[in-house]
Amino acid sequence: MGLSRKRKKELRRLQHEANKLWAAQQGLVNEAASVAREAGRQLDHFRREQVVPTVQDVYEHRVRPAVDRGVKYSRDVVDHQVIPAVGGVIGSALTAWDIANAKRTGAPHAVVSSRASTPAKSGPGVGTVIAIVLGIGAAVGVLVAAWQTLRADDELWVADDPLSAPEA
């Protein structure tokens, strides 16, 4: 079954209009891609000129000093509280060790206290006590450093204000 000349003419016109529409759409897609590329380029400029310097400034003036204070405080705690306590425990343990060795060897000039002559208790050894004290000291140092770093300073937090488009 053949088409009439009128129908063939209408179909050719419709095909021509469809081709024009397709070309217009391709042009629009190319234009949109160009706009997207330019927006990406502008966003990169904004990141490099605005965001990176702001983040670096906040890090240098707020985060780093807070971390440094936490580290300094942790070192002070370890140097002035943990180490003296551990030193005392180690000193006591070594004294008890010396007394036990002197008693076992029967050295005549060994000093044995009344406590050392009581029966030995079963339980954690000296190494376990030292390890527990060192672990507690390290945990306290880490917690203090974390607290100093993460405490609620109003200046450290960024406001939830929505970003507005920059004026051209």
pLDDT tens across 116-152, in order? 455 556 667 777 788 888 888 888 888 888 777 777 6
Q: For residue 166, is it within any domain? A: no
Number of domains making up the chain? 1
> Does residue 12 lie in a domain region?
yes
Q: Of 75, 80, 85, 77, which Cα lies nearest the Cα of 130?
A: 85
Work out whether the CA dihedral 128, 130, 134, 137 comes out positive or negative. positive
**Residues found in the chain:** 168
| Residue-number span of the structural domain to which 43 is assigned | 5-151
Give a yes or no: residue 21 inside a domain.
Answer: yes
Contact 149, 67 (CB under 8 A): yes
Q: What is the pLDDT of residues 1-30, one digit of tens each?
A: 688 899 999 999 999 999 999 999 999 999
Identify whether 139 is part of a domain.
yes
Answer yes or no: is 160 within a domain: no
Question: What band does 108 get if pLDDT is binned at 50, 70 and 90?
Answer: low
- Residue 134, domain member (yes or no): yes
